[in-house]
Structure 1
Amino acid sequence: MTGFKIASLLAIASLALLPEAALAAGDAMQKSRVLEDEAYRDCLAQIRKDPEEGFAQAQVWQATGGGLPAAHCAALALVELKHYGDAADRLEKLLPEAEKHAPHLTVAILDQAANAWLLAERPVRARELLDIAVKAAPDQPDILIDRAVALGALQQDAAARADLDRALSLDPTRAEAYALRASARRHLRDAAGAMEDVETALAIEPRLPEALLERGILKFDKGDRKGARADLIQVRLIAPDSPSAVTAGKYIERMDVKGER
Structure 2
Amino acid sequence: MLKYALVLLAFAAPAMAEDMTYDDCVAMVDRSPATAEKKSAAWQVHGGGAAAMHCHALALYALQRYDEAARVLDALGRNRDVPAAGRSALFDEAGSAWLAADKPGQAVTSFTAALADKPNDLGLLSSRARARGLIRDWRGAESDLSAALAQDANRADLLVLRASSRWAQGNKTGAAADIVRSLEVYPDYPPALVERGKMKYSAGDLAGAKRDWQSAAARGQGRTAADAKRYLNELQSKGGK
User: TM-score, normalized by length of structure 2?
Assistant: 0.78
- Count of residues in correspondence between the two structures: 233
1:243 aligns with one of 220, 223, 226? 223
Q: Decide whether aligned partners of structure 1 residues 236 and 63 sit closer, same or farther in structure 2, where only a CA change above 3 A counts.
A: farther
Tell me, yes or no, if the aligned pair for 1:59 and 1:71 is still in contact at 8 Å.
no
Tell me, yes or no, if the aligned pair for 2:128 and 2:144 is still in contact at 8 Å.
yes
User: Does residue 147 of structure 1 match 2:128?
Assistant: yes
**What is the aligned partner in structure 1 of residue 35 from structure 2?**
56
Q: Decide whether aligned partners of structure 1 residues 132 and 93 sit closer, same or farther in structure 2, where only a CA change above 3 A counts.
A: closer
Which residues in structure 2 correspond to 1:173-212 (within 5 Å)?
173-206=154-187, 208-212=189-193
- CA shift at 1:80, angstroms? 4.5
Q: Decide whether aligned partners of structure 1 residues 220 and 135 sit closer, same or farther in structure 2, where only a CA change above 3 A counts.
A: same
Tell me, yes or no, if the aligned pair for 1:215 and 1:228 is still in contact at 8 Å.
yes
**What is the aligned partner in structure 2 of residue 232 from structure 1?**
213
Larger radius of gyration: 2
- 1:201 and 1:144 map into 2 onto residues whose CA distance is 18
Counterpart amino acid of residue 113 in structure 2: I
1:169 aligns with one of 142, 145, 150? 150
Tell me, yes or no, if the aligned pair for 1:59 and 1:70 is still in contact at 8 Å.
no
Counterpart amino acid of residue 235 in structure 2: M
- CA shift at 1:182, angstroms? 0.9
**What is the aligned partner in structure 2 of residue 256 from structure 1?**
236
User: Does residue 95 of structure 1 match 2:77?
Assistant: yes
- 1:45 and 1:175 map into 2 onto residues whose CA distance is 35
- 1:256 and 1:153 map into 2 onto residues whose CA distance is 28
Deviations 1:47-104 (A, max 9, x none): 5x65xx235335424523654344334433444444332222222222244x313332
Segments of 5+ residues of structure 1 without an aligned counterpart are 1-18
- CA shift at 1:194, angstroms? 1.6
Which residues in structure 2 correspond to 1:41-52 (within 5 Å)?
none
Deviations 1:155-194 (A, max 9, x none): 2212221121111112223222111101111112222322
Structure 1 window deviating more from structure 2 (84-93 vs 104-113): it is 84-93
- CA shift at 1:112, angstroms? 1.8
**What is the aligned partner in structure 2 of residue 83 from structure 1?**
65
Counterpart amino acid of residue 88 in structure 1: A
- CA shift at 1:252, angstroms? 1.2
Tell me, yes or no, if the aligned pair for 1:34 and 1:102 is still in contact at 8 Å.
no
Tell me, yes or no, if the aligned pair for 1:233 and 1:248 is still in contact at 8 Å.
yes
Deviations 1:107-126 (A, max 9, x none): 12112212322232222222
User: Does residue 33 of structure 1 match 2:10?
Assistant: yes
Counterpart amino acid of residue 160 in structure 1: A
- 1:117 and 1:214 map into 2 onto residues whose CA distance is 26
Tell me, yes or no, if the aligned pair for 1:151 and 1:160 is still in contact at 8 Å.
yes
Deviations 1:111-165 (A, max 9, x none): 2212322232222222222333333321112222222222222222122211211
RMSD over aligned CA atoms reads: 3.2
Give me the identity figure in percent.
Answer: 31
- 1:80 and 1:225 map into 2 onto residues whose CA distance is 44
Counterpart amino acid of residue 33 in structure 1: A
Q: Decide whether aligned partners of structure 1 residues 211 and 30 sit closer, same or farther in structure 2, where only a CA change above 3 A counts.
A: farther
